[in-house]
Structure 1
């Protein structure tokens, strides 16, 4: 993966510019005494658990299976302590696997050697142990990222990217599968659905990586694929967006076929388009727009009800000029309104107390204010915090403030 955490990269695009409080589905009921009672509200209280580059887990290579397992369970225990109810576990960080996949090699982050059996099953353990703690476990996949370095020869010999070098596009010093090739789309979908078939996961989760983030002075070379498959589209951008649309639609259908009831959610970069680009866009001045730069029409996926939930990464403080949380959250609420697609807000816990961040992030109450604001919008049915390492450390007490103000009692996720 990239040397910076994925959310940091997205935030950097904006830097170039110059409680519980969600409405649950409480149900009033008549008791024997004819007094009205309300069921406990339901909401997602989530935590991302990232494995790329040892971001959250495992802490380093070379750990024994017992130590890796202990660290994984400690993160689940942290989620319980913080009265969260959902863990989003990154199990396919880069065209590899944290389960015994017949399609892709074991992740190098387990043993230091891609393809080497770690001697245990992290995803199977995570699902079982999360459920034992009353937590939901969502399997988090990255569809098209192959490697954070540019040399295919450093991949495992059996890696599909080496078997099919024509599937791969080097870009920005990294390797990606080409989304414009139908065999690639079929393969990545099959590889991800293998985990859904094997394990009783509660959700399938993608983050913000579709076509790669733009790199100055470079172009993503999909000329041959566009020449072969781009007929009928007005331009390459429309063709690229259709490629991603097809992956979303086909994955949604595949999940329902393989394991009915598993929810499919996506956590995109928080800005679809700026209003200056499109009147339907948000009142932002973002340097990246998912529609134009990542070819991900995230608003369409909600409006067309292709997914079960959307969790935009709203990683900016209230009052941030280029992308104000207090303006983006209502925009997403309007997008989700009336669709039945659940809206969860992605929260930048990793920024709390970071010296490089604006002053607002040095106030332990900033995240709590986000949840207070969200209480005004019934479309917002939860929050997900990035990420597990910061949740465990809680260096400024931001999560403790969230607990005190909003999470005094446990709640269950939405049905």
Structure 2
């Protein structure tokens, strides 16, 4: 097996123009090596950068005038040592700060000072957390000055945010957050924190909460570029931007769009290649080629060298611009570095964020830079941001396919620094690459590589799968929200029953106007369920629309109820079976005798409102499905996760769940009394 892994390692090409980096979670270097050997070994194995954890929210490991200095670091300048040896061995040195989280190294007297000043976070129950509150301007100023101090004092190549977030959805709800939220928004919160957790001010608070984290990124980025424009600003972020902005207030896609970051490093720590690939694929769409994407590989979770090799290959194939390994330890060197050196890191190269010299004009496609097979894609490539010291240059423009194929498109040189052409490639994943040299001074030539955003050409089947809402819509049909849990399985089921069902991707007024009935599977992104959206859908139902909601969308946890007068969520038991009750038209053909299992592992029980009618109960005799007629419309609140399997994947509903779904939709369409 070892020989097979070694053979696989030797098959991996050494790619020009990529970041090959590591995170090191200590300011002292690897183990007892010191910084000289730490840098020497990393360079020997073909890496070109290191992210070193030199400061936290409450402690620094170098002489700092902003943060307390760790006892073990007193009398030494570890930052100066690290930068010196990394630069000597050709490595970029990026200073990694653990933001907000205080960890165990913060001196007790400093922690007590922060506590006394009310600068620490509190969870929804009022318990203190060892995290700086991001909304406190004193904390933001301290963290900003700590990073700017580093930029002013040391010749570092970059600063790197980490823990630039909240610890989870349960924070921060301190008194300071309440006061500042009310001041900034003009909203008076009567029931704190319930009104901002699942009450009427949920969406406003979520927006404000994200802004508190973003402010630090924005302010540091602007100041770093003013003080030293050559220093790169980056961040280690959660893999899934959609859930991260809600769970931890980390809106990193926005940071990319606004230009606060020079590159981004999602922490894609998994041993599952399929999950890793899906994360990188989505991240390349979210970044849209605006800045380099360097996925983090969780080598600490892996036991075989082939796992790291495979993820490096996947990252390249899916459009990443390099990789960062977590973390740099003796074990990582022994188990993984020699295999990488056999192929992937065999030849030296420099990271692409050094060469932001090329403009790529690629038109908007189906979504981002995705196109249908047969589409003509006009592109323009120009070397128009070269540094002033660049005397001469020559570069070849090629269309790279992720399997290694390359087609020459043209040549750029001083007398013709741009080209325009029309691409019409076969299905696959591509990038336009500009590879060449720039003359620096009279004799020195510097190699460079710049790459375009990822260009995806899709087959008709792939277009239908990835962009379901592009197809035709039946008049007065049943819209199914496919960005909800189980949504696609519900859509397929209704179509199989001959109902005029079509996919809905947004909850906009235009989408509602095309629906006679809307099936709202529990949204995967809870932030879409804000007051405006709920109000829009409520009016649409009252004017004659039909609405079916599933699981949490009945009004549970972070999703407020849309018709509490009919029903709202109350509990979440696991394993209980259910059955239909009563003589409502929805229940006419359902089994009212036998208990039925449900495909998902839990369901939401309901608290019935004054206008609600129970359609089904569970074995605890608690309501799980209810119906009502708000205004001129009809509404069904279903606590079952229709269309969702126990593994959180879409699964076609069967037997009584299928009957319940179809019967509910037919009633919402106006069939029955």
TM-score, reference length from structure 1? 0.71
Q: In the TM superposition, what are the counterparts of 1:65-76 in structure 2 within 5 Å? A: 70-76=33-39
Q: How many residues align?
A: 323
User: Cα 1:220–1:338, aligned 2, differ >3 Å: closer, same or farther?
Assistant: closer
Is contact 2:120–2:128 with CA below 8 Å preserved after alignment?
A: no
Residue 243 of structure 1 is aligned with which of 212, 231, 247?
A: 212
Asked whether the 8 Å contact 2:210–2:251 carries over to 1, the reply is yes
Selected match of 2:286 from 335, 356, 359: 335
Question: What residue in structure 2 maps to residue 384 of structure 1?
Answer: 324
Residue 138 of structure 2 is aligned with which of 179, 183, 186? 183
TM-fit CA distance, 1:203: 0.6
Instruction: Quote the residue 2:159 is aligned against.
Output: 204
| Matched position secondary structure for 2:267 | coil
1:44 aligns with 2:19: yes
Q: CA deviation at 1:223?
A: 3.3
1:179-220 Cα distance to aligned partner (Å, 9 max, x none): 111222122101221011100100110124421135xxx653
Q: 2-side partners of 1:83 and 1:44: how far apart? A: 10
- Counterparts in 2 of 1:219 and 1:93: CA distance versus 1, 3 Å: closer
- RMSD of aligned Cα (Å): 2.7
Taking the aligned partners of 2:218 and 2:76, their CA distance within structure 1 comes to: 33
What is the 5 A alignment of 1:188-337?
188-213=143-168, 219-230=171-182, 231-232=184-185, 234-273=203-242, 289-319=243-273, 324-337=275-288
CA distance in 1, matches of 2:149, 2:111: 16
Q: CA deviation at 1:370?
A: 1.6
SS at match of 1:264: strand
Deviation for aligned residue 1:329: 0.9
2:350 matched residue in structure 1: 412
- Residue aligning to 2:564: none
Residue deviations 1:35-72, cap 9 Å, x none? Answer: xxxxxx221110111128xxx8575xxxxxxx6xx523
Instruction: Supply the distance in 2 between the matched residues of 1:173 and 1:162 (Cα, whole angstroms).
Output: 12
Equivalent residue number for residue 545 of structure 2: none
Deviation, structure 1 residue 342: 1.0
Q: Larger helix proportion, structure 1 or 2?
A: 1
Relative to structure 1, the CA distance from residue 87 to residue 338 in structure 2 (aligned partners, 3 Å threshold; closer, same or farther) is closer
Q: Which has the higher strand share?
A: 2
Partners in 2 of 1:166 and 1:77 — Cα distance? 45
Question: Where do 5+ consecutive residues of structure 2 fail to align?
Answer: 1-10, 188-202, 355-673
Gaps of 5+ in 1: 1-18, 24-40, 60-66, 112-116, 274-288, 354-361
1:146 Cα offset (Å): 2.2
CA, structure 1 residues 327+307, in 2 after alignment: closer, same or farther (shift >3 Å)? same
Q: 1:241, 1:295 within 8 Å by CA — same for their partners in 2?
A: yes
Could you give the per-residue CA deviations for residues 139-198 of structure 1, whole angstroms, max 9, x where no partner exists? 01122122439xxxx835466944962212356875111111122212210122101110
- How has the CA–CA distance of structure 1 residues 246 and 221 changed in structure 2, closer, same or farther, with 3 Å as cutoff? same
Q: Distance in 2 between matches of 1:122 and 1:209?
A: 24
> How far apart are the structure 1 equivalents of 2:262 and 2:14?
18
Secondary structure of 1:312 counterpart: strand
SS at match of 1:206: strand
Are the equivalent residues in 2 in contact too, given 1:138–1:205 (CA < 8 A)?
Answer: yes
Over alpha carbons, which structure has the higher Rg? Answer: 2
Query: Judging changes above 3 Å, is the alpha-carbon distance between structure 1 residues 89 and 244 closer, same or farther for their aligned structure 2 residues?
Result: same
What is the deviation of 1:390?
A: 4.9
Aligned to 1:103: 66
Q: C-alpha displacement at 1:376, in angstroms? A: 2.5
- Higher relative CO (Cα under 8 Å, sequence separation at least 6) belongs to 1
Distance in 1 (alpha carbons) for counterparts of 2:160 and 2:245: 19
- Change over 3 Å in CA distance of 1:205–1:271 after alignment to 2: same
Distance 1:170 1:162, change over 3 A: same
SS in 2 for 1:200: coil
Distance 1:308 1:399, change over 3 A: same
Q: Which residue of 2 aligns with 1:400?
A: 338
